Amino acid sequence: MSIRLYNTLTRRKEEFLPLDPRNVRMYVCGPTVYDYAHIGNARPVIVFDVLFRLLRHAFGAPYVTYVRNITDVDDKINARAAEMAAAQGVSVEAARADLTAKTAAQFEADVAALGCLSPTLSPRATQHIADMVAMIEALIAAGHAYAAEGHVLYDVASKPDYGKLAKRSPDEMMAGARVEVAPYKRGPMDFVLWKPSDDTQPGWDSPWGRGRPGWHIECSAMGGRLLGESFDIHGGGVDLTFPHHENEIAQSEGAHGGHAPARYWLHNGFLQVEGEKMSKSLGNFLTINELLKDWPGEALRFNMLKTHYRQPLDWTVKDLRVAVKTLDSWYKLIGDVEARPENAGAYFLSYKLSDTLADDLNIPAAMPQFHYMAAVLSEKTPAEAELAEFKTAANFLGLLTHTASDWFAAKKQAVSLDEGDIRQAIEARNAARKAKDFAEADRIRDELLAKGIVLKDSPKETTWEVKR
């Protein structure tokens, strides 16, 4: 199977050739854990989950290692931990440990509900401080970094090909890196590898005094330790291309005698909400956790997969409703049939998934095949094997992983009204219709609709279903 991936480093789609097919390695930048993850953060998690599944299919599950880190030391975390420490009368370090453990557990539960497999390894940055210190020492020894006033900085001038991933002019890089002016810096673009901590900030002993790592060195050290100096794929959102990934390349090549950390750099496009940039100030900030209260995780996943991963994605309620409707119809079709993972390879091929996914994860191109097969199967009395095949192929994308019974039961449960209330409202509406009080009947219908309940009238009876 030939997989082609768009490599940001070369700006081309290239055939994916692992360094060692018996040890395929991928690193994806994970979340900084100080608050609930938003739906934009879910995009790289889902996209690289599909790539992980594809690599496991192509090379064999035991031969693929996927590392997604947790950034649990960072100045945004420290600021939140300091507030918590003041409010709770505990040390900042205790507050940091508590905040990051809870937020990381929440993140892992959220993305599991989106149908993502666990990565092979989920290292915490704080477990690798010694690796970071060692890497910084190697950079100083190689002439790529210097210590100044308790800080250690990367000397960008020491790396003439700095900027090879971003491919931006020095002016654009200066603007993009939001360069901090500091008297101890030799060059304006030099970035922090280590910085001093005061007594109120989390810190670790180091040759440069008590301090903490910069963000970029965290990923370089974790990737190098867990996957080796050179591995295959490095991924993240497009915003990480510069400066984060550019700096990772500079650090890893600087410390490892010029060996590139990854051969393929993959970046997902950004997600916006109802046509606007998601932001707390606009009030359109959607956490995964909140969305999961209103929508099934599989519908969120389906909605994420509808757009090619490199394109911008517009997240809308309208599309979410379509996602639920489509999944409803597919669950109605397959019922409680079991998937046949032992035949996944064959089904994978028959649904043309291999061609489309292997072409730079072109999931949107695979979708028409599912719609077509659903239409074909709906028009006849399908054999159980055909339904199992449909389910198995969808399972490959992390969809149709429930039974229809569980799917529809969960939907009914998610409605804020209980079944008795709905029945009572239907009876009251029937009574109003009998009395020709159509205004009251419509009012009851609209009130239920506002709560997500759609009534269906037939000559015999009125039934209901969940709208979403």
Instruction: Write the CA distances from 342 to 327, 332, 406, integer angstroms.
Output: 23, 24, 23
> Sign of dihedral through CA atoms 261, 177, 131, 85?
negative
Give DSSP secondary structure letters for 154-201: E-GGG-TTTTTTT---HHHHHHHTTPPP-TT-SSTT-EEEEEE--TTS
User: By CB under 6 A, is residue 237 in contact with ligand AMP?
Assistant: yes
User: By CB under 6 A, is residue 40 in contact with ligand AMP?
Assistant: yes
Whole-angstrom Cα distance, residue 69 to residue 195?
Answer: 21
User: By CB under 6 A, is residue 373 in contact with ligand AMP?
Assistant: no
List the single partner that 32 binds among Zn ion, ligand AMP, none, CB under 5 to 8 Å by kind. Answer: ligand AMP
Find, among 336, 354, 326, the residue nearest to 404 by Cα.
336
Where does this chain touch Zn ion (CB under 5 A) — which range of 50-58, 140-148, 211-219, 337-345?
211-219
Find, among 33, 214, 450, the residue nearest to 466 by Cα.
450
User: Is residue 268 within 8 Å of 44, Cβ to Cβ?
Assistant: yes
* Contact with ligand AMP (CB under 6 A) among 44, 123, 243, 297: 44
SS3 assignment, position 70: strand
- What minimum distance in Å lies between the beta carbon of 423 and ligand AMP? 42
H or E element that contains 87:
helix 75-88
* Contact with ligand AMP (CB under 6 A) among 9, 26, 43, 220: 43
User: By CB under 6 A, is residue 323 in contact with ligand AMP?
Assistant: no
- What minimum distance in Å lies between the beta carbon of 426 and ligand AMP? 42
| Burial bucket for residue 340 (CB in 10 Å: 0-12, 13-18, 19+) | middle
Structure tokens at 33: 């854990």
User: Is residue 131 within 8 Å of 224, Cβ to Cβ?
Assistant: yes
Locus of tokens 């393929």: 264
User: By CB under 6 A, is residue 239 in contact with ligand AMP?
Assistant: yes
List the single partner that 239 binds among ligand AMP, Zn ion, none, CB under 5 to 8 Å by kind. Answer: ligand AMP
Residue 72 or 328 having the CB closest to Zn ion:
72
Count the alpha carbons within 13 Å of 161 in the hemisphere toward its beta carbon.
Answer: 10
- What minimum distance in Å lies between the beta carbon of 395 and Zn ion? 30
Where does this chain touch ligand AMP (CB under 6 A) — which range of 193-201, 233-241, 379-387, 449-457?
233-241
- What minimum distance in Å lies between the beta carbon of 38 and ligand AMP? 7
User: By CB under 5 A, is residue 299 in contact with Zn ion?
Assistant: no
**Per-position x/- string for 438-457, each x denoting binding to Zn ion as judged by CB under 5 A, each - no binding:** --------------------
Whole-angstrom Cα distance, residue 352 to residue 338?
Answer: 21
In eight-state DSSP terms, residue 360 is: T
| Binding to ligand AMP, residues 260-279 (CB under 6 A) | 268, 270-271, 278
Whole-angstrom Cα distance, residue 347 to residue 198?
Answer: 59
H or E element that contains 113:
helix 92-113
Residue 219 or 444 having the CB closest to Zn ion:
219
- What minimum distance in Å lies between the beta carbon of 114 and ligand AMP? 13
* Contact with Zn ion (CB under 5 A) among 3, 29, 271, 313: 29
Residue 123 or 382 having the CB closest to Zn ion:
123
List the single partner that 40 binds among ligand AMP, Zn ion, none, CB under 5 to 8 Å by kind. Answer: ligand AMP
- What minimum distance in Å lies between the beta carbon of 37 and ligand AMP? 7
Locus of tokens 């390695």: 25
Residue 155 or 248 having the CB closest to Zn ion:
248
- What minimum distance in Å lies between the beta carbon of 41 and ligand AMP? 4
Q: Give me the residues that bind ligand AMP (CB under 6 A), please.
A: 29, 31-32, 40-41, 43-44, 236-237, 239-240, 268, 270-271, 278
Q: Give me the residues that bind Zn ion (CB under 5 A), please.
A: 29, 219
